[in-house]
Amino acid sequence: MSSGTAVGVGDVISALLSRISEAVIIADEAGCVLHISRTASEMLRWGGSPTAAALAAALCSEGDTWRGTLPVGNGNEKTVVLHKNRDRPGIILASLAEDGEAPGETGVDPLTGLPNRAIFLDRLHQSILGASRSKKSVAMLLVGVDRLAIVNDALGFGAGDRLLAELAGRLNQCVRATDAVTRLDGDHFGLALVISSLTDSVLVAEKVFHAVAKPFLIDGRELFITVSIGIGLYPADAGNQGDLIKKSESALRYAKSSGRNQYKFVSNDMNARARHRLELESRLRRALIQKEFLVYYQPKVDVESSMVVGMEALVRWKDPEQGMISPVDFIPIAEETGLIIGIGHFVLAEACRQNVQWLAEGLPHLKVSVNVSVRQLRSRTLVDEIGIVLRTSGLPAEMLELEITESMLVDNVDATLATLRAIRDLGVGLSIDDFGTGYSSLSYLSQLPITTMKIDRAFVSDVESNGKAAEIARAIIGLSKGLKLDVIAEGAETLAHIDFLREHGCALVQGFYYSRPLPPKEFAELVRRGPIVRDA
């Protein structure tokens, strides 16, 4: 029935195609031209059988887009882009455009007002260069309109064009000003984003679906469309902009063949990861609302007296289906999605509240340490938030300390310094967590308004087996003395670790040797029992 359909309405189609301004071709599945619009035939200056043969090959080529040169009349050649649509079985509907910038154009796609393909490619290239310098990634989102042909058929190409122009505006709203958007050809739009994680590209893809879901008002009618998105990543999927676009084209085909109205990454591994992340994200969101987070406390112990002198508050997630989930598995995602702000606030408020309650119950003064993530440190409201939590809980500022990892101190040095100073001005202590794993310089360190250095557990666990680790642990202890800072070691698991640390002048220790992180009740009982005695 394939060509039968076309022939049956052939006269109508021919009449139509002679009147529209678009360059379109209708061919059968072998690439044999059934109808060609006047504009298309003028463009090709219909060069007879050489043109027909080359065109057939182009029409039947893999993929939705073909770019190349076609022999045209009078022995000339023309570089063109063919955008193919195979939505109807047995028929190839193609639109034809001259490739490259049209003469006299200023880098703008006249239909949509977006930067044209050439400008986009250049910006994509720049993004790739920038990303490789800053160890980031670039995501190329190729957005294809699902079944634009239906709109074109029902309302004419003019309506289709107006829809594309409106869509272009909406897509432009989905990205930051520094990201690039273009109409690559026909009904394909390209979005190039510099991203720091897979999640960033997922978030933008979802924004696009959201933007497209609203009806399009075209010629007085409300139209609903869907799009499919193929996402290619640099450097994971491709090493240059040309390959990146090709990869995103194949991901787009995958999205379309999987049922349209969805996004797909190039690799299955990425698709699985994106799915897992999204799932985890929505569970995390729910967890925050349904109060599934708990705070455990791990004692900080004075090695000489074996008395608990403080504790680190460590968040735990009790998922109703999966049980206890470790913070190492969800903090990074909470960080990427911004959920860490809510979780971090909960831990801070709860740790302060708990500590005040313990004081009231007669426990000694203990300093509680709360971990702060990058996102929290960057937030403008962190300092105010700490102030409010201290006031509402009634916890004296000296009984609170914040732990910040060394790696968080490297970026935004000035802003970070200002925040840290403001926190110190409140009277709250500041500890550098995982010390020895970051890259802070000594001169920078000496400027930081910190009170404590916390030796990373990697060095502690290796003090016996690895001379270098022992040397680093010793050096950090020496450094803290020199800078007049407190020092604490984390991850002490054995008596040998404790002995080493005591001998080298590290008076405070946190680790499984004394205790694992405990639920509040058990922690209070441990403190009440007095010195922590371990069997030899």
Identified binder of ligand C2E from the candidate list 195, 315, 404, 509, rule CB under 6 A:
315
Q: Which stretch binds ligand C2E (CB under 6 A): 237-245, 436-444, 466-474, 510-518?
A: 510-518
Whose Cβ is closer to Mg ion: residue 80's or residue 408's?
408
Residue 511 engages ligand C2E in binding (rule: CB under 6 A)? yes
DSSP of 255-292, one letter per residue? HHHTTSSSEEESSHHHHHHHHHHHHHHHHHHHHHHTT-
The amino acid occupying position 289 is I
The amino acid occupying position 33 is V
The amino acid occupying position 325 is I
Region 434-453 residues binding Mg ion, contact defined as CB under 5 A: 434
The CA-atom distances, in angstroms, between 399 and each of 207, 310, 394, 395 are 43, 9, 11, 7
Whose Cβ is closer to ligand C2E: residue 166's or residue 493's?
493
First to last CA, the chain: 87
| Sheet-wide strand order for 24-28 | 33-36, 24-28, 91-98, 76-85, 65-72
Write down the least CB distance from residue 384 to Mg ion, Å.
Answer: 23
Residue 185 engages Mg ion in binding (rule: CB under 5 A)? no
State the Cα–Cα distance between residues 55 and 32, nearest whole angstrom: 8
Q: Which does 27 bind (CB under 5 to 8 A by kind): Mg ion, ligand C2E, none?
A: none
| Sheet-wide strand order for 137-145 | 180-185, 188-195, 137-145, 227-234, 263-265
Residue 237 engages ligand C2E in binding (rule: CB under 6 A)? no
Q: Where are the alpha helices (DSSP H) in 321-454?
A: 327-337, 339-360, 374-378, 382-393, 413-425, 442-447
Q: Which stretch binds ligand C2E (CB under 6 A): 120-128, 144-152, 245-253, 487-495?
A: 487-495
- Strand-pair partners of 441: none
Whose Cβ is closer to ligand C2E: residue 115's or residue 299's?
299
Q: Which does 344 bind (CB under 5 to 8 A by kind): ligand C2E, Mg ion, none?
A: ligand C2E
Query: How many other C-beta atoms can be found within 10 angstroms of the C-beta atom of residue 86?
Result: 15
Could you tell me how far CA 297 lies from the centroid of its own chain?
A: 31
Residue 401 engages Mg ion in binding (rule: CB under 5 A)? no
Q: At CA 142, angle to CA 260 and CA 120, rounded to 5?
A: 160
Residues 430-459, one symbol each (x = binds ligand C2E by CB under 6 A, - = not), give ---xx----------------------x--
Q: Which stretch binds ligand C2E (CB under 6 A): 128-136, 142-150, 167-175, 325-333?
A: 325-333
Q: Which does 314 bind (CB under 5 to 8 A by kind): Mg ion, ligand C2E, none?
A: ligand C2E
Residue 179 engages ligand C2E in binding (rule: CB under 6 A)? no
Pairing mode of beta strands 452-455, 429-435: parallel
Residues 275-314, one symbol each (x = binds ligand C2E by CB under 6 A, - = not), give -----------------------x---------------x
Residue 313 φ/ψ, nearest 5 degrees:
-85, 125
Q: Which stretch binds ligand C2E (CB under 6 A): 197-205, 356-364, 488-496, 526-534?
A: 488-496
Binding site for Mg ion (CB under 5 A): 371, 403, 433-434, 490
Binding site for ligand C2E (CB under 6 A): 298, 314-315, 326-328, 331, 344, 347, 371, 373, 403, 433-434, 457, 490-493, 510-512, 517
